[in-house]
Amino acid sequence: MTDLDKKLQEMAVMNWPQFAALLGPDALIAAKVCLLRQNKKSYGEIEQKLGITYEQARYGCNKCDMPKA
């Protein structure tokens, strides 16, 4: 973990609105999709839970499958 990673982690804990604004809504939705898919939720369930389209759920899931650095 780098110093920047630590700063981002601290920001997320101490000032969620600032962290969320920094990441932007698309990144947050993609992260939520990944969490829900890890919990075995279907695209339809994700669509309903997050109020997004089926295509957005699939797109967000594709971001989860990216290789880890």
Sequence spans of domains, the chain: 24-69
- How many H-runs (helices) and E-runs (strands) does the chain carry? 5, 0
Cα-only R_g, the chain: 13
- pLDDT for residue 65: 61
Q: Is the pLDDT of residue 24 over 80?
A: yes
pTM of the model: 0.77
pLDDT at 68 over 60: no
